[in-house]
Amino acid sequence: MDAQKKLRLLSKLARFECEREPELEGCIYNASTPRGKKPILKVMQSTYCDKNCDYCVFRRDRDSTPRLYIPPEELARGFMELYRKGRVQGLFLSSGIFVHPEVTMEKLIDTASILRRRYGYRGYIHLKLMPGVSLQTLEEAVRLANRVSMNIEAPNEERLKGIARGKSLRKEILPNMVQVSRVLENYEGKSHITQVMVGVNGETDEELLKSSQYLYRKVGLNRVYYSAFFPVRETPLEDKAPESKKREHRLYQADFLIRDYGFSWEELPFEEGRLPEGKDPKEAWAERNPNFFPVELNRADYETLLRVPGIGRKAAKEIVSRRLRGALRKPEDLKGIRNAKKILNYVTLMGRYYGTETYLRG
């Protein structure tokens, strides 16, 4: 972007400047982490947005949305005041897209840069990435942040165009995601995630999980988050029914099977494109594949163990470890392993079945 164009774009920011201090206390939430709940300041650089997505509370045509822009200096100073008081332990910084994606992203980067360089802050920063920005801008965001994210919102171009006509998966979002994953190869301990809406435009679970598998295995994302749709007043979808949280939960369970347990989306137990809401996806898969069971617990390899309902990665590793010390001969040998009673329905111990499923008793 040449200097004159940048100056013209930056001059438009003048109308966003606020004269009062930002009120950040109400933006603290407890985020789940591997080390427990941690208070995170989740805040937007600006609630102004030039996009007009049908589902969004910040869409351009929603007159009742309060509009605010917090300059990087003010936001960084406000965060540090909360941090020094022990009120927060990290920052999640997002924004509406205003003026131009490049300018918006520069403001988020400026905030993170002030925290790192001026205040010496070394803690957690999650930066939301604006689609369509340059590789140089993406590289700077990755360098400053611990985690970055760019939301896809929908599983494919057709579904996205139905709710966000100003966005493109093919032209902007996916190319940027690939660039970010390549940049992240030069760093350790940093992650790259996205979010997709559930139940907003007729997308099936099959479409969603096919997309997630592609993002994991071809694009290099660390995590896909699923967000059940709920209607927002004064948007085109305000009369649409909210999506079931149970559906969201089943998608997460199926996502774990793809991401951590070696399943592919084609194997999952879809019924007309949807997962059964009344049953865990791994249990539903097991019912459809009775010839896979029972699994002999003393011989099954790690990948096979992960397909047994009730066995997660920790339990699979524990079973392999115990076998090295001696054969697993009776149910008592599984003492201390989570879900042992469920596991017994799908396995044998030295050829003997101890479960209750009649179709597996042989």
Question: In a structure prediction context, what are the per-residue pLDDT tens digits for the chain, which is 362 residues long?
Answer: 454 444 344 334 444 444 445 567 778 888 876 677 899 999 999 999 999 999 999 999 999 998 889 999 999 999 999 999 999 999 999 999 999 999 999 999 999 999 999 999 999 999 999 999 999 999 999 999 999 999 999 999 999 999 998 899 999 999 999 999 999 999 999 999 999 999 999 999 999 999 999 999 999 999 999 999 999 999 999 999 999 999 999 999 999 999 999 999 999 999 999 999 999 999 999 999 999 999 999 999 999 999 999 999 999 999 999 999 999 999 999 999 999 999 999 999 999 999 987 656 55
Is 47 strand, coil or helix?
coil
Can you read off the two tokens belonging to residue 279?
Answer: 């049953």
Name the pTM for this structure: 0.90
Domains, the chain, in order of start with CATH, read 18-146 (3.20.20.70), 150-279 (3.30.750.200), 289-360 (no CATH)
Give the amino acid at 2: D
Give residue 9's pLDDT. 43
Spatial separation of the C-alpha atoms in residues 177 and 262, rounded to whole Å = 23
- Among 195, 248, 259, which Cα is nearest to 225's? 195
